[in-house]
Amino acid sequence: MQKGQAQSNCDSLLKTAVAVALLVVAGHSAARAHFHFELVADRAQKLAAQAYQPPEPIPEWLTRVTYDQWRDIRFRRERALWRDTGLPFQLQFFHPGYYYRHTVAIHVVDDTGVHTLAFSPSDFDYGRNDFASRVPHNLGFAGFRIHAPINRAEYYDEVIVFLGASYFRAVGRGHVFGLSARGLAIDTGLPSGEEFPSFREFWIVRPQPWSTELIVYAILDSPSAAGAYRFLVRPGEQTRVDVEARLYLRRDVQQLGIAPLTSMFFHGENSPRPVEDFRPEVHDSDGLLLCFRNEEWLWRPLMNPRSLSISSFRMQSPRGFGLLQRDRNFDHYQDLETRRDRRPSGWVEPLDDWGAGRVMLVEIPTKSDTNDNVVAFWVPDAKAKPGVPFSMRYRLWWYGDDPHRPPGGRVVATRRDRGNREDAYRLIVDFAGGELEAIPPETVLHGAVTIASGPDSAELLDQQVVKNPVTGGWRLAFQVRPKRNEPVELRAFLMLGERVLTETWSYLLVP
C-alpha cells in the first residue's frame, strides 16, 4: 500500500471513529433530554389540581430525638453517591428525625433513565445512639447535600444542602454555612400566620466527567400551592444557583414571597446586647442590600427588634436584593466555633423583568442566636391566581465580598448612642470603598441626611463628615431628636459637590 493511500485510509477511519463518538454522545444527551423541566411542571400542575395531601409522617419516636442525637447520625462518607466514579460531584444524604419529620423522594436521572435512591440504615453511622436497629429499612431520606472540590482539588467540600421544608443553603470558597434560601414564602409576617411549603421530590441529573454544573429538579407542595423547580448549581469562589420555578395555586394567597432569604441577627454594633455575651457581635447577616433599576443602591442595617418589624421597599424592575454579611473582621465576633466572619452573603439577581413590587424585610425578636429571625423576599404587584401558572427565574449568588455590589462607596458600620442630649440620638455611619479612600482628608464632603418618615416625626440637629484616618474611609455623624415616641425612618449618603459617592444608608430609629 502506498503512503498516500495509507494516510487516506487512516483519515477515513479517524473520521468514522469521531462520527461514532459524536453519535454516542448525542445518544446519551438525547436520553437525558427526555427528562426536562416541562415534565416536572406538568407533574406539579396535576398535583395542584388535586386536594392537598400532607406527607407521611416518620415514626413518632424519631421526632423526639434531641438535636445532639440527630446530629450524631452521620452518613457514611465512603457510601457517597458517585464517590468512585471520578465525577466532579458527589452526594450524601440526611437522616429523618428531630425537626425533619417527613421524607423526600430522591431520584437520579442518567443515560439509562430515572432511578429512585433506596434508603438503608446501613448507610449511616449512628454514633452514640442505640436505636439503629429500630429504624425502618424503607424510611427514606430527609434531604441531601452536594459536594464538589471548591477549596482543594483533591477534596469534595459540602457546597449546597437541601434540607427541611423548602430550605436550601450554599457556600462559596472559604465559607462556612450561614443564611438559607427558600423555595417560596407564603404569608410570612402576616397576622394570619405563615404557611411553609415543602420540597417533596427531587431529580438529580448525573453529571458528565467534564461538568462544572449540576442540575436538580424538585416538586414543591403545600395547602395553597404546588410548584416545579429547576436548580442549576455551579460551585466556585462565588457559588451560583440559577433557579427556574413555575407555581400553580390551589387557592388565593394573600402574600406570595418570591426568592426568600432567611438569616439570623442577634446583636451587632448598631444595637445593644440583649444578654450578657462575650461576643461583640452575633449575626449571620448584618444588612439588606437593594439595587434599583436606576442603579441606586440602598443598605439597611439589620436589627433584633423589641417587637415584630416589617419594612417594605417599593421597586420597579429590581436589579437585585440580598442579605449580606459585610463585617469580615474576626475580632468583631470572637467566636472560634461558629466563625461568623466566614458566613456567606446571599444575593438574588432576577433573570427576567419582575415588574413592579416590593422587597419585604421581616425582623422577628429573638432571645437566642439559634433562631433565624430575619426574612427578605420579593412580593410582586401582579398577583398569582389559581388556575394560571406563575413563573419566575432568578440567580442566587453565595459569596464573601464583591466590590461590584455596590460598585461605589458602602456603609461598613452603623452605631448609635444618646450623644450629648437626653432627648436626641447620635448616629455614627462609616463609609468605605469605591473612590473614598483616594479622596484627601482636606476635601469637603457633604452628608445628605433626610428624615424619610417626614419632618413631623423628628428633627435633624447637626451633622459632620470627617475622614476616618484608621480605615481610610469617611465618617458621617449627626443627631436626631424624635418628636413622638414612634420609629423614625432615616436616609443618608455622601456627596462631593453634586456627585453621589456612596450607596444610600437606610435606618429605622426606634426610640
Taking only the tens place, the pLDDT of each residue in 406-434 is: 999 999 999 999 988 889 999 999 999 99
Task: Taking residues 103-131, report their average pLDDT.
Answer: 97
Please check the confidence at residue 301 and state whether its pLDDT lies above 70.
yes
Q: Decide if 205 contacts 29 (C-beta within 8 A).
A: no
Q: Decide if 143 contacts 92 (C-beta within 8 A).
A: no
Residues of the chain with CATH 2.60.40.10: 410-509
Task: Taking residues 387-411, report their average pLDDT.
Answer: 95
What's the confidence (pLDDT) of residue 420?
Answer: 85
Which is higher by pLDDT, 402 or 197?
197
What's the confidence (pLDDT) of residue 34?
Answer: 80
Please check the confidence at residue 18 and state whether its pLDDT lies above 80.
no
Please check the confidence at residue 112 and state whether its pLDDT lies above 50.
yes
Task: Taking residues 339-343, report their average pLDDT.
Answer: 97
Task: Taking residues 462-488, report their average pLDDT.
Answer: 95
DSSP 287-342: EEEEE-TTS-EEEEE----SS-EEEEEEEES--EEEEE-----GGGT--TTT-GGG
Query: What type of residue sits at position 116?
Result: T
C-alpha dist (Å) from residue 138 to 15, 17, 123, 134, 446: 50, 46, 12, 12, 67
**pLDDT band at 20; cut points 50, 70, 90:** very low
pLDDT tens digits, 344-353 = 999 999 999 9
Which is higher by pLDDT, 26 or 183?
183
Q: Decide if 367 contacts 386 (C-beta within 8 A).
A: no
Q: Decide if 104 contacts 199 (C-beta within 8 A).
A: yes
**pLDDT band at 32; cut points 50, 70, 90:** low
What's the confidence (pLDDT) of residue 1?
Answer: 43
CA 246 to chain centre: 19
**pLDDT band at 33; cut points 50, 70, 90:** low
What's the confidence (pLDDT) of residue 421?
Answer: 87
Nearest CA to 183 out of 41, 392, 398 is that of 392
The per-residue b/e assignment along 291-310, b for 16 or more CB within 10 angstroms, e otherwise, is bbeeeebbbbbbbbbeeebe
What's the confidence (pLDDT) of residue 407?
Answer: 93
Cell of 377: 423576599
What's the confidence (pLDDT) of residue 272?
Answer: 82
Please check the confidence at residue 293 and state whether its pLDDT lies above 50.
yes
Nearest CA to 103 out of 179, 189, 199 is that of 199
What's the confidence (pLDDT) of residue 171?
Answer: 98
Residues of the chain with CATH 2.70.98.10: 60-399
With pLDDT > 70 as the criterion, what percentage of the chain qualifies? 94
What's the confidence (pLDDT) of residue 387?
Answer: 92
Structural element, H or E, at residue 471: none
Q: Residue holding cell 427565574?
A: 393
Please check the confidence at residue 3 and state whether its pLDDT lies above 60.
no
What's the confidence (pLDDT) of residue 273?
Answer: 85
Please check the confidence at residue 277 and state whether its pLDDT lies above 70.
yes
The CATH architecture assigned to 410-509 reads: Sandwich (2.60)
pLDDT tens digits, 209-233 = 999 999 999 999 999 999 999 999 9
Task: Taking residues 153-180, report their average pLDDT.
Answer: 97
**pLDDT band at 126; cut points 50, 70, 90:** very high
Task: Taking residues 157-181, report their average pLDDT.
Answer: 97
CB atoms within 10 A of CB 378: 23
What fold does the segment set 60-399 form as a domain?
Beta-galactosidase; Chain A, domain 5 (2.70.98)
Q: What is the pTM of this model?
A: 0.92
CA dihedral 370, 373, 376, 377 (to 10 degrees): 90
Task: Taking residues 456-461, report their average pLDDT.
Answer: 93
What's the confidence (pLDDT) of residue 142?
Answer: 98
Task: Taking residues 353-365, report their average pLDDT.
Answer: 98
